[in-house]
Every structure is written in C-alpha cells, then in structure tokens.
Structure 1
C-alpha cells in the first residue's frame, strides 16, 4: 500500500481512478442528455439505460446496480456528484491506491442501491453517483477514526453538514442510497484495513497497483456473472458466495506465488491479458443468447443500433473485442512487463521489506 498520507488541506489533486470514473460517468450521462435533446433526461430514458427501480432485483436485472450510478437526471445533478467525486476521491485514492478506491466506490454504489431498494416501500426510479460518492466520504471518515488520515475534523463537519443541508432542501434526494453508500464505504474501508493486515502474513509479495486493479475488475465482473447465474439455479445465495470468495482467494494466492518467481510480474500480466480476453468472450456469449433473441413488440433495448450490429455477427465482434482488450491490457501494463522482465521490486530484500509492514492500510 502507499506509504504517504493524504494532505491536510481541503483539496487533493485527483488521480487515475477518479479521472477514469469521471470520464465514464460524464460520457454516459452526456449520451442520455444528447438523446433527450436537452440538459436533462426523462424518466423513460433513464429507465431504459439502467436506472434502478423498485422491482429490478426481483427481476434479476443486476446490471442496474452498476448502471444507475453512471446516469444522472440533469446537468446540475451530474455536476454536483462529479464535484464530490473530485473533492473526496483525490484524498481517498492517494491514501489507499486505485484498486482499493475502485473496490470502495463500486461496493458503495451496489450496496447503496440494495439498501435503498430495501427501504423504499413505493415504486421509485433512482439514478446518480451519490451512493458511491457517499461511500468515499464514509471511507475517509473510517481512516480518520483509525488515525490513518491527516485531515482535520472540520473537513468532515463541513462536507457532511453541507450534504445533509442540501438533502433537506431537495425532496428528490434518495436518502436510502446516500446512507447505504456511506455505511458501505465506512465498513468496507475497515474490512480492507483488516485484509491488508492479514495479507502481510498470507502473501509473499506486494501486488503492483496495475495487478490489483485488474483483479478487482475481474472480481466485479465475476460476481455480477455469478449473481445473475445463481438466480437461474437451485444453489443458495450464501453457498454461491462462499464458493466465489474461496475461488477468488485461491486466484490471489496463485498470483502471489507467480509474482515470487523469476520474471513473475511479466507472466502475471500476460495471464491477466488472457483472463480479460476470456471475460469479454464469456460476456459476448451471454449477450448473444440474452440480447439477440426475438424481442417483444414495442420492447426497446439500450443502444439498439450497436446491439443490431453485434447480433448480425456476434462471434466476429466478440473476438475482435477480446483481442482489443488483451492488447490494451498489455499496452497499459507495459511498464510492469518491463519491471517483471528485470525482476525489479518483487524478490529478495525489497519483497521482505514490504511484507514487514503490518499496519494495514
């Protein structure tokens, strides 16, 4: 983990994960605004592209647990959430690194939607990154409580106070998503601190951030795939969760052992590129059977033109996408490949020095 602490000031320059999330969110919301022909998106369009609604989980539309967090009602809604992402995300990403930042952000997004859905007793439609950004603030508060963040109390008093005041002044704010995301960030950060302490005893190597980010994204995709598949089987949810967690821990340990080998980092990057390509192939295969079938009259699907192009030749499109993802992985991780070929930083004294730090996050 990074050894530096967050700046005691109110603003911290954002880093890669914050910029990536901002880019995806702005492009996704902006696409909806363009589709609607104005600076806001109607409820019908938001529902079509992934808005979270009252029976989404009951209908096994789990993709909405992620999609809703990248959609926004209007430009003001988008601006407010992106401002929170910049103001809070820079501090958290610098402190815990991009991999753990993504885990906290995406977990807060999903759990915020789940908790919000449980609280609602009437039909609703919700969109926005508020649950995820509230999770960032919750994680920062957790680090401050643990004494691992050099931010002053007034940072939290002002930010939490302003959010509460703004929420009281706007009746359209979904309190369930906000509170659920905040609790998820607070608890999730505490669990990650415990995981990092255990890792010092369970793992031999310090994972590079590129490897951690890739494993995090694969875990999210695998969890979503497994959650959707579990609904079609007789396997209990708790049983599927135990199997998934066990399999993921086994994968992490295998990566740890490979990293400790000569040229291990280069081997791991190559394996991750292959895993990313395989994930795209599996996703394309699932989409081919679920999205390319006959549609009910009047049924609309997001991005109909792109979907029609994909369904015209799904094998070719999926294959090209898989090759592109593998090539992108190798390109983005080119520095890690070079380091791995030279065995820099992952064997010998530097490895032992990293594992001697058992202070958590």
Structure 2
C-alpha cells in the first residue's frame, strides 16, 4: 500500500498515478486542440475521438466510457480539471496507493458517463475528466482522510462551480455519478482489503498490484464485450467465473512472492502477460470490420495509424508487444533488482505488512 506521513500538508505532491493520468489527458486533449488549430476543439472532432453521446451504449461503443474522460472542450476546461487532479489527487493516492487510485478514477469515469447518459432526455455530446475528479472527492470523503486533505478537496466543488458559471452546458449528471462512484468504490475496496486479511491474506508491492489491476480490467472488458455480442452464457456465470479466476491468480502470485527471487520472476511473468494481451488485442482488432472494410472517417493521424496497422497487423502488433515488455521492465526495474538481490526478505516483509494492516 501507500506510505503515510504523520502530518500531511494542505498540498500533497502528486505521485505516479496522478502524473500518468494527467499526462495522458493533456496529450489527448492537446492533440485535439492541435487538430482544431486553436485552444478549443469542435464537437465533430470530439465525437470522432471518443466523446460520449446519447446512443453510444445502445451501439456498444463501450470504449467511449473511458475515452471521453481524456478529452476536453477547450483549454480552460482542461486546466480546471487538471488543477483539481493536482490539487488533491495526491492525497487520495497517498492514502490508498496507485493501484486503487486508478481503479477509483476509472470507476468514477465510467459510472459518471452512465449516470450522465441516463439523465439526458435529448441527444448530447459530453467530454471531460470532471466525473473522474469528482469521484476522487467522493473517495476522500469515504476513506475519512485527514483535515488538511479534506480542506484541499473542498477546492474542487468551488472550481467546478466557477467553471459552471462560465459554461452553462456543464453535465451535472456526470459529476454526481462520478462522486457517487468514488464514494462507493472506495468503500468496497476497503471491504475487499478487510476481507483479504481473513480470506486470501495477500499483500503485493504496488507495481505488481497496478499491473494485475490493469490486466484484470482489460480481461473484464474483453469478457463484457464478448458476452454482449455472443451471449454464450448467463452474465452471472461469466462474472462468477471471472472472480474465481482472479482470486486464483492473486493467490498464485502471492505464493510466488513468498519464495526467494519471486518478485523478479513475477515482474517478468507480468511483462509476458502484457505482451500476450497486446498480441490478442492486435489479433482481435485485425479481425474487426475496421480492417476488413478499411472504412475511414476522414484524413487524420488516427486513420493513418489504423491504415498502417491494417496493412501489416502482425508486424505492428509485434512491435507494440515489444514496447509493452520494455516499458514494464523499465518501470519495474527497481522491483526487479530488489527481487534479484532477494535472499528471503521480500516475502518476510510482505507477510509482516499483511499482518500489520487491514483495510484502507
């Protein structure tokens, strides 16, 4: 889990997950601004690159539940949300760790989009990280953070209200849905941590936890999309089987971490799993109508990348898989070195941490 300070200040220096989410958001929104040739992006461009709209769920455009949160209407919209994320996002990541922070962030983003979609009676298009950042506020309230972090988090509603004054088209359904999702997801994660202390009794380094969470998320999305299209089995059976498999994998990783040099072996295995996910994803994309029909919505970098991929999917997938392995090994280099030098202390420290802490 995350490290704690006895007296955290009003402003917490952002950590890895906050930096990563902010970087991806700024790059995605900036890309749209560059395409538009100004500090604002038109609706047509936002729709093409992932804006959430009224019939997205009915058309199974589930990828928009995530993509919309990385796009913004203009520079002020982007700056306001990123200021909220920087101002108090570090408090939550310090409190729950990067893995749970990312889970809460994306849960708020997805549920905010679903609630926003349900509250719209007319066609709409929405973008922005407001639902996700509102979810972090809900999570801070749920986990009972310190007074200083809560005083910092109160700046978020003020910023949102200030933005609402300047923009009458603000989507309050996304804000409220994200807030509720952050509140609920943080409470559920706290329950999972408490149950883990009595059932699975596992404790992982944050790098391992983040990678496992990402792999579980990708697998869950793949099962969800496949289930929605094929209806092979009842949804509850698929969900139950997915949970059982996840628990089995978690316990196997925990057992591997308990042996000497197990941490290095687990990191290398995760790098291989990341490459396998990329390979399977490339194979699935190559078989879709996007490559079979080669239909393009217009000239642009995304369409050029799609055409390059469809022209030689095997080579592009292999290159991306190599990049995934390389990034995993580079980002986890400290843990790999720690695992290689391990003479039995890693497992002992994780067992001590497991016995010392329960819940968030």
Q: With the length of structure 2 as denominator, give the TM-score of the two structures.
A: 0.93
Provide closer, same or farther for how the CA distance between residues 118 and 190 of structure 1 changes in structure 2, counting only shifts above 3 A: same
Provide closer, same or farther for how the CA distance between residues 345 and 201 of structure 1 changes in structure 2, counting only shifts above 3 A: farther
**Contact persistence 1:143–1:149 (CA under 8 A):** no
User: Aligned residue for 2:226?
Assistant: 229
User: Aligned residue for 1:124?
Assistant: 124
Q: CA deviation at 1:338?
A: 1.7
* Structure 2 unmatched ranges of 5 or more: none
**d(CA) in 1 for partners of 2:6, 2:220:** 31
Provide closer, same or farther for how the CA distance between residues 5 and 123 of structure 1 changes in structure 2, counting only shifts above 3 A: farther
Q: CA deviation at 1:263?
A: 1.5
User: Aligned residue for 1:52?
Assistant: 52
User: Aligned residue for 1:347?
Assistant: 347
**d(CA) in 1 for partners of 2:113, 2:5:** 31
SS in 2 for 1:73: coil
**Contact persistence 1:81–1:133 (CA under 8 A):** yes
**d(CA) in 2 for partners of 1:102, 1:39:** 28
* Structure 1 unmatched ranges of 5 or more: none
SS in 1 for 2:329: helix
**Residue correspondences, number:** 357
**d(CA) in 1 for partners of 2:40, 2:298:** 23
Q: CA deviation at 1:122?
A: 1.3
User: Aligned residue for 1:292?
Assistant: 291
CA displacement 1:168-199 (0-9 Å, x = unmatched) = 66321111110111111111111111111222
1:184 and 2:181 equivalent? yes
Q: CA deviation at 1:277?
A: 0.2
SS in 2 for 1:356: helix
Query: Equivalent of 2:271, from 270, 273, 292?
Result: 273
Larger deviation: 238-247 or 213-222?
A: 238-247
Larger deviation: 212-221 or 46-55?
A: 212-221
User: Aligned residue for 1:215?
Assistant: 212
Provide closer, same or farther for how the CA distance between residues 153 and 216 of structure 1 changes in structure 2, counting only shifts above 3 A: closer
**d(CA) in 2 for partners of 1:302, 1:236:** 40
**d(CA) in 2 for partners of 1:249, 1:207:** 14
**d(CA) in 1 for partners of 2:338, 2:295:** 53
User: Aligned residue for 1:253?
Assistant: 251
Q: CA deviation at 1:204?
A: 4.6
